[in-house]
Chains A and B, each alone.
Chain A
């Protein structure tokens, strides 16, 4: 398909200033280039990232720490004593056969479910048992396994919904004549950012479309773009490649790598072993609710337990 060529050529365009062309080494310049348009804390993150070369660094700061997480549904233990951490600026993969407890772990981290035991720490703060919106507002964004668009809202509305701290979310501010000006002002500012991100993900031509009319792959893009607009430190992607065709998969991966280079941290749940092995720096393998193995892709590939879990589990 011709889309891939086009997308590669277009990467150079608006938002992220020639990042792909120059490759990973341009991360620092990138950070300073668009630092002005982003929040201060994010600039900090990106600045810090730029000093650290991508690769193994045992002492890296881990914004997300999970310890002894356990979830029981009735008599079934879906997640059993799971502990791991996710280091800043990395791409961490969470894999495992069906029913391994990956999605449940995600739901426990993001507050959709309350754990039976264990703690989740985010940026040093205990967020266990907080409401999903409280966790999201601390900078931990997620996407859903089956893309959950707000179908009868346009792509633009979907995107405008996401940013944090919108003054217009207070009813009185939105309605009263004297305060509505500030709401409009903030929305106008926000709109620039929204269009930048739409351009970045190359879904700007769909801006006025209802989200429900998008294809499966486009929904995935929209969902990631939307999550990004919440200004997260860490993004949890639940099977971002499920039901996505190969060319779009490649593009999604490019986006993810580019964002990682700019300092975002990713935790990705995925079925596809190869995809995770080729793209993640670190892989956590879950099986029957437990962590089977936690290490670099090379280590995972050599692990007999993992091979057994995958092959043995499926045969």
Chain B
């Protein structure tokens, strides 16, 4: 490729996407920091808030990108995202938890290294994607939706089921692919109590692989001596994990935009537009739909792993369908069909709708010494009798987690009315690995007629 070609690519990149992404992230972080400063947050609190923000920007960005492959590109109406996430993290847990069921762990695992567990989680999520897709892709879009949401609920109920809670023989459904001698005493999905993720902390595992663990510990003690005195490690861990998540988002983006900008992505787009036409042009649409679905499901599995693996435990209630709908809202905000839009949607959703209200609540509670909130709506309203709005305000703040859903609903309705294509859904992201402008060598025609003669629309 020529120099000008390269330069054109970079210019295009900087003109639009990178600038846009950085601007949006910049505004988000600035808003968080300024709000923190305004309400008198300490440094530790600030860093913590930023780590949290980064975490959710990262996971929602990734999952929105994965969903964009299903819905934005291929038009597959998958509302079972959380099921694939759950499969991912549960598989990782079962594979990587230590074999010995000692200590606090109620159920043991296979005790394999964490990267094996993560790989297994991604692969198994992809395989379940195949399992769901094989019968379901023959269905029309809305039926696929029903199948996927039912699937994700089946997964959640399987996690909760007593039948799969504990086995003394390593012979669970999650494991038939890996035929090991029964080293662990017990194994299983942990039932309603969930699984304690007592494997190596993923951050530590990663840093150890990169031989950065000891320098990192040195850095932590340096910070402890000079900046934050009381145990800064969790905060720093959170920040660093957030950075790795953002790198993960970059990899997702690279993979998916490469997928999109290729003949493969072009066929996916064609399937979204009109499957019969794609078929009539000689494309085996079933194969393309299957491949896209499996890839998306595997990426959702990885998203689930990265979301939950740094936590101490996973429990089935984390995998309720509301997560699926959060990711859908993120994609709708960003604009289905655009990878950059998907990430922006994920970031904005995480920063404004998901973390925003909670952050505001924390800020207000830190800034003002507020009494305890009323326990129910009646008590909250009772204050108005004596013209005292405080109980109501307190109650509102206290219920901010539930109110978030209302806010999301309002935003969604507003978007549907005013900008159904989302922030970047209108953009042309041409599905081709090369620039489709007329090749210079072949441009001998020199005719620029407008002889279309069609009836104008």
Contact = CB atoms under 8 A, between A and B. Distances in A.
Contacts of A157: 266, 269, 430-432, 436
Contacts of B400: none
Given A175-B262, A183-B263, A196-B442, A151 B273 contact: yes
A169 B267 contact: yes
B295 A171 contact: yes
A144 interface: yes
Nearest to B291: A171
A230 B274 CA distance: 17
Contacts of B295: 171
Given A150-B269, A154-B430, A161-B278, A217 B449 contact: no
A88 to B, nearest CB: 21
A243 to B, nearest CB: 8
Interface in B421-457: 428, 430-434, 436, 438-439, 441-442, 444-457
B171 interface: no
A77 to B, nearest CB: 24
A188 B433 CA distance: 9
A298 B303 CA distance: 69
B456 A215 contact: yes
B278 A3 contact: no
Nearest to A169: B263
A205 B450 contact: yes
A150 B432 contact: no
Interface in B319-357: 337
Contacts of B281: 133, 136, 141, 161-162, 226-227, 230
B455 A168 contact: no
A184 interface: yes
Nearest to A180: B433
B455 A202 contact: no
Contact of A215 (B266, B277, B452): B452
A258 B453 CA distance: 19
A34 B451 CA distance: 25
Interface in B249-291: 255, 258-259, 262-267, 269-270, 272-274, 276-285, 288, 291
A215 B432 contact: no
B113 to A, nearest CB: 26
A277 interface: no
Contacts of A43: none
B277 A148 contact: yes
B433 A142 contact: no
Contacts of A160: 263, 266, 432, 436
Given A150-B269, A157-B266, A216 B279 contact: no
Query: For the complex, would chain A's binding face be called helix, strand, loop or mixed by DSSP majority?
Result: helix
A136 B280 contact: yes
**Interface size bucket, A side?**
35 or more
Contacts of A44: none
Nearest to A170: B264
Contact of A199 (B270, B433, B445, B455): B445
Interface in A211-261: 213-219, 221, 226-227, 230, 243-245, 247-248, 251
B451 A10 contact: yes
Interface in A192-206: 192, 194-196, 199, 202-206
Residue of B279, B431, B451 most packed against chain A (CB within 10 A): B451
A215 B263 contact: no
Nearest to A1: B453
Contacts of B439: 188, 191-192, 195
B263 A216 contact: no
Interface string A273-299: 000000000000000000000000000
A183 B262 CA distance: 8
Nearest to B443: A195
17 contacts: A14-B447, A112-B280, A133-B285, A136-B280, A137-B282, A152-B337, A153-B270, A161-B278, A161-B283, A168-B262, A174-B433, A180-B262, A183-B262, A192-B442, A217-B452, A221-B452, A244-B454
Given A171-B295, A174-B433, A188-B439, 13 more contacts: A7-B453, A132-B279, A149-B273, A150-B277, A152-B269, A152-B337, A154-B436, A167-B263, A192-B442, A205-B449, A215-B457, A217-B455, A218-B452
Interface of B: 255, 258-259, 262-267, 269-270, 272-274, 276-285, 288, 291-292, 295, 337, 428, 430-434, 436, 438-439, 441-442, 444-457
